[in-house]
Structure 1
């Protein structure tokens, strides 16, 4: 298991290409879900410096806050509410350039300006979402979508 993270420079694609094998090394052989989620979030936050990065896990028909890095967050989100709940309901990645323009946005922090939420799907069912917020408008694009979908596909969910 790797315990050091090397921060990459370069364009966004190059940064992801450098980071994904490191996340794999951090989580490989570790059976504990919370440990893997925590290290994944830490690696993403450290590499990209986003405002907030975390997982919400589906429990009892709600999204419940899991490992994250950033300011305190909403603890529970209902299906269809906000960007996370909409991503869960639609089972698709959502990129929101301006969260204030998203119908029903849940403002856990007024400093959040843009967001991407990636559902984690196992056996045709959303079991969690990766939520990433930026304090800058229009921070996320198709490159983030592609690579964050690869990240969540590689994280071990037992």
Structure 2
């Protein structure tokens, strides 16, 4: 355990030290099609996290992280080139992907033996609220997503 903690401390120290001037870009794991595949890669990593026997989870998160960095760099370049619309689209992808990562980790923290700060049902409830508040016109896809989330809420409440 001490060895892994030392390694993690080195990672944190490195990025904190280099955080002063410009982003640090050391490409270690790079897949192609970051703009199209980043959510698929995050999905694979999240579902691997649900399987305690899976050995690829850290690598999958690393690949996803590289996608996020690549998208951020592309957004920065788009801003430099005056293409604000593209930069905003790319940053929205980054923000949403980070939100998915955060929520997935919070949900995984609800597994037995973990320390949990946010209940899974509160996350799902916030999704339903957001979809209902931000959905000016109802469409079948949004309705389907809301209905499936309500079904998940019901199952969570039955368990509690």
TM-score by length of structure 1 reads 0.24
User: Highest relative contact order (Cα 8 Å, sep 6+), 1 or 2?
Assistant: 1
TM-score by length of structure 2 reads 0.24
Comparing both structures, which one devotes a greater share of its residues to helix?
2
Comparing both structures, which one devotes a greater share of its residues to strand?
1
